[in-house]
Amino acid sequence: MQLLDGKKVSQAVKLELKGQVAALIDSNKRAPHLAAILVGSNGASETYVASKIKNCEEIGFKSSLFRFSENVEENELLETIKKLNVDESIDGILVQLPLPKHIKESSVINLINPNKDVDGFHPVSTGKMTLGLPSFIPATPYGIMLMLEHYNIETSGKNAVVIGRSNIVGRPMSILLSQDREYGNCTVTVCHSRTKNLKEKCLEADIVIAALGKPGFLTADMVKENAVVIDVGITRVADQTKKTGFSIKGDVDFENVASKCSFITPVPGGVGLMTIAALLKNTYEAYLTHLK
């Protein structure tokens, strides 16, 4: 079994970006600039946004955080996005999800200028990605693709099972893996809460992507020998032995599954770090198009 080390791979991605940015700044160009919008004070969202901003700083990107209270009016958010859309100093706009119930996520996401849609959630990005055209790819599936590439994992002709069909993880992941592209060409089965015989489907999979948000869901009896297992899940589980009062659990019963796998991602230290690396890559791509 080999660990797919998100720390190592994300560091490599970030190091490359850092060098590219340093070279551009040496030639008197401005730094790439990411705008992050955070609504409310959800602990996990706060942590993710703080980490994205810290990572921007580490590699020489500029970042701006726009914070709003939990009860902000939708219109105020939309007005902020309109301003960021036309602000030439901003390359990428990310809105940390989930948003409070009274705000329609699609109204917010769909207003983002597709040229600054570094999270890749805008319908234009989704459409282009689906057609195999150059586009921003949602950061988590993109990060997973970078991981497969880094470890040169054979995907062509393999059976892949993606558990979860959300617009931000499962659905785009299934599309990418099924496309005629490098690290694609899989035969993909998308599973969800209505799927019957999920265990049997997983047992046929050479590659399993677990993205459902149920800690420890994928157990050893659901995984065939030498499978590649990618754990997307991040759930906070109460843990009094930790200072924070919680620990982070993935969707895979890592302890028992790992020994059966050819490759597996740990949680933490796997997909989460790759997601941030992919977001930075998208921001850099947006920046390059804005420089032209």
**Is residue 119 flagged as an active site residue?**
yes
From 5, 14, 91, 96, the catalytic residue:
96
- Per-residue binder mask for ligand NAP (CB under 6 A), 180-219, x = binder: -----------xxxxx--x------------xxxx-----
Is 147 or 168 the residue whose CB approaches ligand NAP more closely? 168
Question: Catalytic residue at 231?
Answer: no
**Minimum CB separation from ligand NAP for residue 129, in Å?**
16
Q: How many residues bind ligand NAP (CB under 6 A)?
A: 25
Stretch 231-250 residues interacting with ligand NAP (CB under 6 A): 232-235
The amino acid occupying position 92 is: G
Stretch that binds ligand NAP, among 24-32, 76-84, 173-181, 226-234 (CB under 6 A): 226-234
Output 80 or 136, the one with its CB closest to ligand NAP: 136
Q: Which of residues 267-286 bind ligand NAP (CB under 6 A)?
A: 271-272, 275
Q: Is 165 in the site for ligand NAP (CB under 6 A)?
A: yes
Q: Is 96 among the catalytic positions?
A: yes
Out of 166, 185, 187, 247, point to the residue binding ligand NAP (CB under 6 A).
166
- Looking at the Cβ atoms of 31 and 168, the one nearer to ligand NAP is 168
Say if residues 49 and 96 touch (Cβ distance below 8 Å).
yes
Contact residues: ligand NAP, CB under 6 A: 140, 163-166, 168-170, 191-195, 198, 211-214, 232-235, 271-272, 275
Residues annotated as catalytic (active site), given as ranges: 52, 96, 119
